[in-house]
Amino acid sequence: MNEYIGIAVSFLLAGGVAGAMVFLGSTLGKKNPTPEKLAPFECGKEPFAIPMGRLAIKFYLTAILFILFDVELVFLYPWAVVYRSLGFLGLTEMGIFLVVLMVGYIYAWRNGALDWN
Amino acid sequence: MPLPLVWLIKVVLIYGGLITVAAAMSLAERKVSAWIQWRVGPNRVGPWGLLQPVADGVKFIFKEELVPEGANQTLFRLAPILSAVPPMLAVAVIPFAGEVSIGGHVTTLSIADLDISTLYVVAIGGLGIYGVILGGWSSNSKYSLLGGLRASAQMVSYELSLLLSILVVVVLSGTLDLRQIVNDQAGPIFAWNIFALPVGPIAFLLFVIATFAETNRHPFDFAECEPELVGGFHTEYSSMKFALFFLGEYCAMTVMACLTTVFFLGGGNIPWWPDAPWLLELTCFLSKMGFFLFLFLWVRWTLPRFRFDQLMALGWKVMLPIAIANVFVTGALLSLGWFA
């Protein structure tokens, strides 16, 4: 348990340093805002259309696929730690698990979920 | 000397070191790029430009701070902090050297020795992405939003290969404790996980490629990508908040260099000398770490940038299947007694 006190101290220190840097920057820096300065950068043009509109579906699809594989990884980590005591049975079971996963992976690939064109 | 004081010394030493490395990297980035491109680089502030990071820091503090019109005020200010804190926290569990004696207490040279330090470092390190996404989203700028989106897609894609290549090391060592992983690689140089043939070198290569993508470094720096996206997710940032993103990036690079050393190059172990004094171990660790930090810069000025669809294809269609097969082969070889 003692070790987590070190983590807590680090958290306070890191958060404190980062927070202090942002605070110092915003208090010590000079302030002279003009409408041109405050406008979002648009290569010299007047900004048109707000950027919160529609997004490419690909990003969403990537996130969904990531969740699937990430959950699979959560299962793999405990398996890896105790693998030596599981022996051949552990290998067989993980093999079956990975085969099922790979079927899904190939399905996603053949449906074009991994293409970005 | 009371025990809390010993801890405080360790915390201050390690964080002081981390901030120093990050500052030195901001200079090294320019010096190395100048060296590779046959230029001089910063040489005005201090001898050999050594005081340049200090001058930059002072300048950043006194620069005008802008929050663009229509930006989300809270998230815009929170994003740089969120991107700088996680890598700084992740450094807490890195085992820099074996046992040291501070004021009569024999202790280890890391802030915390957790049983689950691998999980901790991966979980905390993964949080760094929120700073980039929120920074891009809250700026109310198209370039920032695109940079943030790209960064999120890229970082989650390569996170999988990163985790799977760590998994090989976990299978080989049978523990999630970084210190035990290091101790496991003591002895001859062939005990290093990179030499655990045939899976070690593959895992090492996948890990290094994934760290470049995770830290948004060249050739995968699509979050900034200046020819297309101006500055990417930090287009609208100025003054100290801009500097914090870079502090976060350099700290993340340092953590990744440390992790590469710990997982694959035996941490502070000196080959064939398991009981080396701690100072030599620390030097050994730092030189391995320094090599990987240099590699980040070297690659940046050597390779051209990928295209975004190439990046995603590499992550999902090449690295992911290889990484999964690699884990399975590791398990199979281990149960056949290959690594005995």
- The domain ranges of chain A are 2-110
Q: Residue B94 is part of which domain span?
A: 68-98+113-335
* Number of domains comprising chain B: 1
B106 part of a folded domain: no
- Residue B260 in contact with residue B211, Cβ under 8 Å? yes
CB contact under 8 A, B64 and A117: no
State residue B223's pLDDT score.
67
Cα–Cα nearest to B71, from A25, A37, A46: A37
* Predicted confidence (pLDDT) at residue B71 exceeds the cutoff of 90: no
The dihedral region occupied by B230, where left means phi > 0, alpha psi between -120 and 50, and beta the remainder, is left
Which pTM value belongs to this model? 0.92
Lowest model confidence (mean pLDDT) among A34-48, A72-86, B131-145, B325-339: A34-48
Alpha helices in A29-56 (DSSP H): 35-38
Cα angle vertex B187, ends B185, B188, to 5°? Answer: 100
pLDDT digit string, tens, across residues B31-50: 999 999 999 888 888 888 88
* Predicted confidence (pLDDT) at residue B295 exceeds the cutoff of 90: yes
Can you say how many angstroms the Cα of residue B72 is from the centroid of all Cα atoms in its chain?
Answer: 29
CB-based contact, B236 to chain A, within 8 Å: yes
β B105-108/B99-102 pair status? antiparallel
Fold of A2-110: Methane Monooxygenase Hydroxylase; Chain G, domain 1 (1.20.58)
State residue A53's pLDDT score.
65
All residues of chain B having their beta carbon less than 8 Å from the beta carbon of residue A9 are 7-8, 11, 111
B52 part of a folded domain: no
B13 part of a folded domain: no
B228 or B81: which leads in pLDDT: B81
pLDDT digit string, tens, across residues B156-209: 889 999 999 999 999 998 899 999 999 888 888 888 989 888 898 999 999 999
B2 part of a folded domain: no
B185 part of a folded domain: yes
Q: What is the mean pLDDT of chain A?
A: 84
What ipTM goes with this model?
A: 0.88
B278 part of a folded domain: yes
Cα–Cα nearest to B240, from A109, A88, A31, A25: A25
- Residue B177 in contact with residue B115, Cβ under 8 Å? yes
Residuewise pLDDT in 10s, chain A (117 residues): 577 888 888 888 889 988 898 888 888 878 888 877 777 777 767 666 666 667 778 888 888 899 888 888 888 899 999 988 888 888 999 899 999 999 999 999 998 888 877
Q: How far is B273 from chain A (nearest CA, A)?
A: 27
